[in-house]
Chains A and B, each alone.
Chain A
Amino acid sequence: MSEAMTSLWRPRGAWEGAARIGRPGAAAGPAGIRLSLREGFGLATLIAADGKEGGLRTALADRFGPSLPEAGTAVFEGETGLVWSAPGQWLAVAPSPRDLKGLPEALRGVAAVTDQSDSRALVRISGAQARAMLAKGVAVDLHPRAFGPGRVAVTSIAHIGVQFWQRDAGPTYDLTVARSFAGSFWRWLEHAAAEFGYEIEAAEGADQRRLK
Chain B
Amino acid sequence: MRIRCPFCGERDNGEFSYLGDAAPRRPDGLDASAAAMHDYVYLRDNPAGTLRELWYHAAGCRSWLVVIRDTRTHAIESVEPARDVARARRAATLTGRADHA
Residues of A within 8 A of B (CB): 71-72, 85-87, 139-140, 153-156, 161
Interface residues in B54-101 (C-beta closer than 8 Å to A): 59-63, 81, 83
Residues in chain A near residue B45, CB distance under 8 A: none
B59 touches A87 (CB 8 A): no
25 A-B residue contacts at CB 8 Å? A71-B7, A72-B7, A72-B8, A72-B9, A85-B61, A86-B62, A87-B7, A87-B63, A87-B81, A87-B83, A139-B11, A139-B12, A139-B15, A140-B9, A140-B11, A154-B8, A154-B59, A154-B60, A154-B61, A155-B8, A155-B11, A155-B15, A155-B59, A156-B59, A161-B59
**Distance in Å from the Cβ of A84 to the closest Cβ of chain B?**
8
Interface centre among A71, A72, A86, A154 (most CB of B within 10 A): A154
Known: A139-B12, A155-B15, A156-B15. A86 touches B59 (CB 8 A): no
Residues in chain A near residue B14, CB distance under 8 A: 139
Known: A155-B15, A156-B15. A86 touches B9 (CB 8 A): no
Residues in chain A near residue B81, CB distance under 8 A: 87
Known: A154-B61, A156-B59. A86 touches B7 (CB 8 A): yes
Interface residues in B10-65 (C-beta closer than 8 Å to A): 11-12, 14-15, 59-63
Residue of A nearest to B13 (CB): A139
Residues in chain A near residue B63, CB distance under 8 A: 86-87
**Distance in Å from the Cβ of A49 to the closest Cβ of chain B?**
15
Residues in chain A near residue B60, CB distance under 8 A: 154-155
Q: Which 3 A-B pairs have the closest CB atoms?
A: A86-B61, A139-B12, A156-B59
Residues in chain B near residue A154, CB distance under 8 A: 8, 59-61
Residues in chain B near residue A155, CB distance under 8 A: 8, 11, 15, 59-60
Residue of A nearest to B6 (CB): A71
Residues in chain B near residue A156, CB distance under 8 A: 15, 59
